[in-house]
Amino acid sequence: MSPLRLAERLLQLIPVLLGITVIVFFMMSLTPGDPVELMLGDARATPELRESLRRDMGLDKPVHERFVLFLGNAASGEFGMSFHHRRPVSQVIWERVPATVELTLASMTIALVAGILLGVLAAVRRDGWIDRVATVTSLVGVSMPGFWFGILLILLFAVTLGILPASGRIDYAGEVPFVTGLLLVDTLLAGRLDSFLDALRHLILPATTLGLAMAALLMRVTRSAMIEALAQDYVTFAEAKGLSRARILFRHALKNALIPTVTAAAIETGTLLGGNMIVETVFGWPGLGRLVVEGIFTRNYPLVQAAVLLYAITYVLLNLCADLLYATFNPRVRL
Amino acid sequence: MTPFLAIRDLRTTFHTRQGVVRAVDGVDLDVMPGECLGVVGESGSGKSVTFLSVLGLVKPPGRIESGQIRFDGRDLARLTPTELRAVRGRDIAMTMQDALTALNPALRVEEQIVETILAHDRLPRLAARSKALDMLRLLGIPDPERRIRDYPHQFSGGMRQRVMIAIALACRPRLLIADEPTTALDVTIQAQVLDLIAAMRRDLGMSVVLISHNLGVVAEHCDRVALMYAGQVVETGPTRAIIDRPRHPYTQGLLRSMPVLSDLDRPLVPIPGQVPSLVDLAPECRFLPRCGQAAPECRREIPLLSMGEAHAARCIRVAA
Ligand SMILES: Nc1ncnc2c1ncn2[C@@H]1O[C@H](COP(=O)(O)OP(=O)(O)OP(=O)(O)O)[C@@H](O)[C@H]1O
Ligand SMILES: [Mg+2]
């Protein structure tokens, strides 16, 4: 795609993002009850304190003014104070983003690698034992609730076998200087192999839990797309040219089979974002998902608002990425 | 002269839920060095499956039941997958019926031609690429430097056909099997593509098997013709002999149903009836239900009967 076309696609995102902002804003202002009361809960506060809080949050102004204000602030990444943390919301959120990004990327990697490899294997050895096992596993994987699978993994690997940690990102002793916030990267940058392995061990269970459903789905999509691709004339022609089996499978058939797989992966990534909240809570993972869950329980509205907006923007951008990928795999599509 | 490719008693079946489909049922065919053999027959007569079997490309539920495919002193039906791979594309190349589906829609033409060369020759990538460009130029594709970067869907039907032929010829095979190279094309382009194949055959000194529905096309380009009907060869011989003295009623019927330029007023007579089901074939002449000259003796298996001059037909009338 040309840079011009890309710019056009990005411009098209503006109305979408604006719409999302409107929804997020009104979702909060339409919540019944006085946000200040809700936030303070049972805490004892003087009327003066309530008043000043109300003014700080801009709640004394009419709704349209508040919206313009919110829009301006949101554009500059400013979402007010997190009452609970006594720090700006943006700061609290940004701290948690790397952990979630790391977990999501890890589970996507697991899902893509496992899903595609098993899908290809199942298609090639159609109706063989790999196919049967993979099909049953994926059925279970798609229908099993994430939190339940997570708890099973904890019971087996952390409690019974004691070989993997049940919660957290890294042992206290293994902490490394902050560079990217992704521990797998930072530990390597610091040259600390022990910490790297420790971070990896912490990551395995939550990433597997989060990636399971996506892996199962991608496996099924890849399998049927591969079966279809392998029956096409271009595969027979590729064989007639004397190409190797590997080249026919992984270049000719898979390049076509990945078109539906990529689409499914993009849709499923949205589910991953939601799954984060559950998995991070089960595994005590200090990421954005758990922050949001905590924010909801503590009625931390500015924080939830900002997080929802961030999730929505991420989702929209992911969809754009998926479209771009789709076009790469399918040259007949002109974006 | 010893044949270059000799197919003996080839049987290929498809095991389907409806029963065993005998798609190729005892086919004998020879291809001589440098010659062009035409293979003609109605849709479903087993032309494609015969030659897919030669290259070991029949996929389940299909399989080669028996037969020999002698090529270069070896039996292709007995080769290991690796040995067979070395023959495909290098010694024997094949083009498919429809270039649109035979070319991979997701890969650039460059990759599809370069990979073929690299599969058989240890060459640097750049050398393979320039060989690929030569091939495209040879097949008359304008502006190959630019077009090689395109995807198959960006070519017209005729150009796509040329691209597929360029790929098949990239390793200078000794035998080209061209499966209905012109069916998907309009008439003027058909002639161009056929002339191109004829020119390539001369220039590269290769043998060609030209598969077609159209006896006229084959008669114009081929030295010898084999007619297939319901999985069997029913008549084979030098092109002239087949045109002048067709002996099998099926061949005679095909000739009657062909337009002749010198005699455009002659009515076209299609052959009545249709090809029998290839499941549960009775031990009798397969053309019997459609034959205007059937006799009681036709109710038995009939072998190819020779008439000399390498002309043979699967019909009791030959003996008479
Ligand atoms: N995958 C398959 N499963 C079942 N039967 C098949 C399969 N492929 C081919 N056949 C059968 O084999 C027979 C011969 O097919 P083949 O493709 O060789 O015909 P053809 O002479 O090339 O016809 P056309 O001119 O239409 O290409 C057909 O009757 C067809 O029904
Ligand atoms: Mg065919």
Domains of chain B are 5-77+210-319 (3.40.50.300)
The conformation of residue B316, written as its DSSP 8-state character, comes to G
Cα–chain center distance at B244: 23
Residue to mutate (ligand 1; options B21, B183, B254; most atoms within 8 A of CB): B21
Q: Can you tell me which atom of ligand 1 is nearest the CA of B47?
A: 21
Tell me if B171 CB under 6 Å of ligand 1: no
Q: What is the pLDDT of residues B54-70, one digit of tens each?
A: 999 998 889 999 999 99
Q: State the best of B92, B100, B113, B115 to mutate against chain A, taking most chain A CBs within 10 Å.
A: B115
Tell me if B233 CB under 6 Å of ligand 1: no
pLDDT at residue B154 in the model? 93
Instruction: Give residue B1 CA to ligand 2 midpoint distance, Å.
Output: 29
Instruction: Give residue B179 CA to ligand 2 midpoint distance, Å.
Output: 7
Tell me if B67 CB under 6 Å of ligand 1: no
Distance between CA A57 and CA A78 in Å, rounded?
A: 12
Strands (DSSP E) contained in chain B are: 5-16, 19-31, 36-40, 62-71, 74-75, 92-95, 175-179, 207-212, 224-229, 232-238, 305-306, 312-313
Give the minimum alpha-carbon distance from A119 to chain B in angstroms, rounded to a whole number.
Answer: 19
What chain A residue is nearest to B89 in terms of C-alpha separation?
A: A241
Question: Taking CB atoms and an 8 Å limit, are B107 and A239 in contact across chains?
Answer: no
Q: Could you tell me the pLDDT band of residue B264, with boundaries at 50, 70 and 90?
A: low
| Residue B126 reports pLDDT greater than 90 | yes
Q: Which residues of A touch B108 (CB under 8 A)?
A: 331
pLDDT at residue A275 in the model? 84
pLDDT at residue B318 in the model? 82
Of B57, B90, B103, the CB nearest to A239: B57
Distance between CA A14 and CA A10 in Å, rounded?
A: 7
Question: Taking CB atoms and an 8 Å limit, are B106 and A259 in contact across chains?
Answer: yes
Question: Taking CB atoms and an 8 Å limit, are B105 and A251 in contact across chains?
Answer: no
Tell me if B47 CB under 6 Å of ligand 1: yes
Q: Could you tell me the pLDDT band of residue B301, with boundaries at 50, 70 and 90?
A: confident
pLDDT at residue B217 in the model? 85
- Residue B207, SS3? strand
Instruction: Give residue B47 CA to ligand 2 midpoint distance, Å.
Output: 6
Tell me if B16 CB under 6 Å of ligand 1: yes
pLDDT at residue B52 in the model? 95
Give the minimum alpha-carbon distance from A269 to chain B in angstroms, rounded to a whole number.
Answer: 24
Percent of chain B beyond pLDDT 70?
A: 96
pLDDT at residue A317 in the model? 85
Question: Taking CB atoms and an 8 Å limit, are A247 and B59 in contact across chains?
Answer: no
Of A231, A241, A255, the CB nearest to B167: A241
**Interchain CB contact of B83 with A (< 8 Å):** no
Distance between CA A95 and CA A98 in Å, rounded?
A: 7
The conformation of residue A242, written as its DSSP 8-state character, comes to T
Average pLDDT (B24-47) is 92
Q: What is the pLDDT of residues A194-249, one digit of tens each?
A: 889 999 999 999 999 999 888 999 999 999 999 999 999 999 999 999 999 999 99
Selection from B309, B49, B63, B70 nearest residue B175 by Cα: B70
Question: Taking CB atoms and an 8 Å limit, are B59 and A331 in contact across chains?
Answer: no
Q: Can you tell me which atom of ligand 1 is nearest the CA of B49?
A: 18
Q: Does residue A237 contact residue B102 with C-beta atoms inside 8 Å?
A: yes
Tell me if B13 CB under 6 Å of ligand 1: no
- Diameter over CA atoms, chain A: 84
Q: Which residues of B touch A233 (CB under 8 A)?
A: 96-98, 101-102
Interface confidence: ipTM more than 0.90: yes
Of A240, A252, A256, the CB nearest to B94: A240
pLDDT at residue A103 in the model? 94
Domains of chain A: 3-75 (no CATH), 96-329 (1.10.3720.10)
Distance between CA A227 and CA A211 in Å, rounded?
A: 24
Distance between CA A181 and CA A169 in Å, rounded?
A: 11
**Interchain CB contact of B86 with A (< 8 Å):** yes
pLDDT at residue B203 in the model? 85
Distance between CA B54 and CA A306 in Å, rounded?
A: 66
pLDDT at residue A35 in the model? 66
What chain B residue is nearest to A232 in terms of C-alpha separation?
A: B101
Average pLDDT (B1-12) is 89
Q: Does residue A261 contact residue B127 with C-beta atoms inside 8 Å?
A: no
**Interchain CB contact of B115 with A (< 8 Å):** yes
| Residue B95 reports pLDDT greater than 80 | yes
pLDDT at residue A54 in the model? 76
Instruction: Give residue B48 CA to ligand 2 midpoint distance, Å.
Output: 4
Which residues have C-beta within 8 Å of that of residue B146, sequence separation ≥ 6? none
Tell me if B23 CB under 6 Å of ligand 1: yes
Question: Taking CB atoms and an 8 Å limit, are B57 and A256 in contact across chains?
Answer: no
Chunk chain A into consecutive blocks of 10 residues (it has 335) and report each block's average pLDDT, rounded to whole numbers: 77 85 77 67 73 75 81 80 80 90 93 93 87 85 84 91 88 78 87 88 93 90 94 95 94 92 83 86 92 85 85 84 78 67
- C-alpha distances out from residue A199 to A94, A96, A206, A296, Å: 20, 16, 12, 28
pLDDT at residue A99 in the model? 92
Instruction: Give residue B276 CA to ligand 1 midpoint distance, Å.
Output: 13
Tell me if B53 CB under 6 Å of ligand 1: no
